[in-house]
Amino acid sequence: MCQRASLFARGRGNILPGNARDVIAAYTHGMADERPLRDGLVRQPARGISPRPLCASRAEAGREAPFDRDYYRRFYFNPRTAVATREEMRSRARLIAALTAHAGLPVRRILEAGCGTGMLRAALRRLLPSAHYVALEASEYLCERYGWQHGRIEAYRARLPFDLVICYDVLQYLDKRAAQRALENFGRLCRGVLYFSALTGLDLERNCDPLRTDADVHLRSAHWYRVRLKRRFREAGLGFWLRRGAPLTLWELECR
């Protein structure tokens, strides 16, 4: 997971679902004010927190990410080092619900691959309460704690496709072969809108708070992901991709 160098969604307040364009505008308002790391807007380290990358102990151990209790205590449960907040997840959920409404997508089935502690799920289910929600998670610890479905996105199969597939901050943890399989699997699993993001090398260099970002990952370029996603999807911006052939309409300047 990664944390933006500046506070996410600062000062935007509560936004009620309704006009999709207004929600998207509110979500993006102020993002132009964010500056890269070198401009000095990174939060100061909390007292007692080492300035080295949070992933150091995992890298030194010479093993892949365990995603165990200690990992989630540090990246999620400790407010001094947490990579995400409930406010951020509520804002992200409003954005997702707004885009699907704006594109004219009836959301009946949702797959979230890498649902973590479930903050996004809780927020999105309040906005799309009638949708069937599959929470897929690779961490055995989280599956035992929250009851998520255990599985990996590169191998997951479903009897029916999903209207909305969400995969945020997951693929940087997969090696090249597994990441390619996951991207191909999105085309099989998604029949409507894909919401996707992964930490890139440029993000780590310019956009992340290094004290709250797990840098022990497979860093790739945004171009690497886009080339593969464009085989099955059209890019709509802000992390959204529309399945090619889906009966969804956006204006020409709203998508590539």
In a domain, 42, yes or no: yes
User: Is residue 2 assigned to a domain?
Assistant: no
Residue 244 φ then ψ, to 5°: -60, 135
pLDDT digits (tens, 9 = 90+) for 147-166: 999 999 999 999 999 999 99
Distance CA 50, CA 212 (A): 11
- CA-to-CA distance for 126 and 238, rounded, in angstroms? 22
pLDDT in tens, 216-243: 899 999 999 999 999 999 999 999 999 9
pLDDT at site 116: 87
Please check whether residue 220 lies inside any domain of the structure.
yes
By three-state DSSP, how is residue 190 classified?
strand
Q: Is residue 11 included in any domain, yes or no?
A: no
Residue range of the domain that includes 176: 20-46+54-254
Domain count, the chain: 1
Q: Is residue 199 part of a domain?
A: yes
Residue 140 resides in a domain: yes
Whether 10 is in a domain gets the answer no
Task: Give the chain's mean pLDDT.
Answer: 79
Q: What CATH number corresponds to the domain at position 180? A: 3.40.50.150
Give the pLDDT of residue 77. 56
State both tokens at 113.
């691959």
Measured CA to CA, the distance from residue 196 to residue 118 in angstroms comes to: 17
pLDDT of 196:
99
Q: CA separation (Å) from 3 to 8, 19, 80, 100, 254?
A: 9, 28, 12, 25, 27
Q: What is the mean pLDDT of residues 72-101?
A: 82
Residue 210: the pLDDT is: 76
CA atoms of 125 and 82, how far apart (whole Å): 23
In a domain, 13, yes or no: no
**Mean pLDDT over residues 15-44, rounded?**
40
**Single pTM value for the model:** 0.75
Helix count (H) and strand count (E) of the chain? Answer: 9, 7
Q: What is the pLDDT of residue 72?
A: 67
Residue count of the chain: 256
